[in-house]
């Protein structure tokens, strides 16, 4: 059952009506004395029925905002979270200082949110969005087109558990928000996540760290000397993730918190200790 407060329910209703009528929320409020047409009412009712079953608003709307960008989202991709701004931000900050036209690889890209946020802020960056899920890649591709970034952003099918294929060449930076939920936590997830979001994007092995181990140990094969690796991680995983990276030859440069003051992301460099 949904548990919105009246205020939240009002906001939800406005978002649904705006989407169903193809108007912005401002246009909707300005035209609030107008009657809605039957097809708009029908669309809105279908969306409300999905919401009533517990489906997340992002999937019902079919779009969500991340880092100031509107992105298409479907149940084939994880809904971009505000938490993920932390890893996007450290990656962007570093990428702005990289040499001209830095090459950046976003592994487990899902909707493409992190890579696209970087491409949006670092105007000469060449970004590769990679995911194992063909369905997710189709969504990422639509987002590349939506933001007219096809000249600088490409999409490839890559299994992040294996070394990236050699044809991709060398990158200045790898960024990833890999699946990091433990087997135990998978059973305790909120219904809105467990029943609707792709499990492939959530489950990170028994201790949640499988992808950090694989990506860290394979990263050197496709990183330029001195290249960077940035990860988002789950609550309380910071020390384990940093140890995995250090053991794989990385030097930790910075660990950062998210908006909720929880440690959430790390940037490390592939080079010997200074």
Interacting residue ranges for ligand GLN, rule: CB under 6 A: 78, 80, 84, 108-111, 113-114, 177-179, 201
User: Smallest distance, Å, CB 114 to ligand GLN?
Assistant: 5
In angstroms, what is the minimal distance from the CB of 193 to ligand GLN? 12
How many CB atoms neighbour CB 108 within 10 A? 26
| CB closer to ligand GLN out of 17 and 140 | 140
Please tell me the distance from the alpha carbon of residue 174 to that of residue 223, in angstroms, as a whole number. 8
Cα(186)–Cα(273) distance, integer angstroms: 37
The alpha-helical segments, DSSP class H, found in 22-75 are 25-30, 38-52, 57-61
Q: CB nearer to ligand GLN: give 231 or 270.
A: 231
CA distance 180 to 243: 16
Distance in Å, CB of 190 to ligand GLN, minimum? 16
What gap in Å lies between CA 208 and CA 77, rounded to an integer?
19
Nearer to ligand GLN, 80 or 208 (CB): 80
Shortest separation between residue 97's beta carbon and ligand GLN, angstroms: 23
Q: Which is nearer to ligand GLN, 17 or 127 (CB)?
A: 127
Residue nearest to ligand GLN according to CB distances in the complex = 110
> Distance between CA atoms of 200 and 183, rounded to whole angstroms?
12
């Amino acid at each position: 059952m949904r548990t919105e407060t009246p205020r939240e329910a009002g906001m939800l209703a406005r978002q649904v009506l705006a989407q169903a009528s193809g108007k912005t929320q401002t246009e909707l409020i300005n035209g609030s004395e107008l009657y809605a047409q039957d097809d708009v009412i029908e669309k809105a009712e279908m969306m409300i029925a999905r919401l009533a079953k517990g489906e997340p608003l992002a999937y019902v709307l079919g779009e969500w905002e991340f880092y100031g960008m509107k992105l298409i989202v479907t149940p084939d991709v994880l809904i971009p979270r505000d938490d993920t701004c932390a890893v996007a931000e450290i990656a962007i900050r570093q990428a702005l200082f990289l040499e001209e036209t830095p090459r950046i690889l976003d592994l487990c890209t899902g909707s493409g949110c992190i890579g696209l946020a970087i491409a949006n802020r670092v105007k000469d960056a060449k970004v590769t969005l990679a995911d194992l899920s063909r369905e997710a890649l189709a969504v990422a591709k639509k987002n590349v087109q939506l933001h007219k970034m096809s000249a600088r952003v490409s999409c490839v099918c890559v299994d992040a558990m294996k070394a990236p294929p050699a044809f991709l060449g060398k990158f200045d930076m790898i960024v990833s928000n890999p699946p990091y939920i433990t087997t135990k936590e998978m059973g305790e997830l909120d219904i809105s996540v467990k029943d609707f979001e792709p499990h492939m994007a959530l489950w990170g092995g028994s201790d949640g760290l499988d992808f950090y181990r694989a990506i860290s140990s394979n990263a050197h094969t496709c990183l330029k000397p001195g290249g960077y690796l940035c990860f988002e991680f789950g609550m309380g995983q910071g020390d384990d993730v940093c140890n995995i990276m250090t053991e794989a030859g990385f030097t930790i440069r910075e660990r950062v918190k998210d908006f909720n003051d929880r440690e959430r992301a790390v940037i490390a460099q592939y080079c010997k200790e200074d």
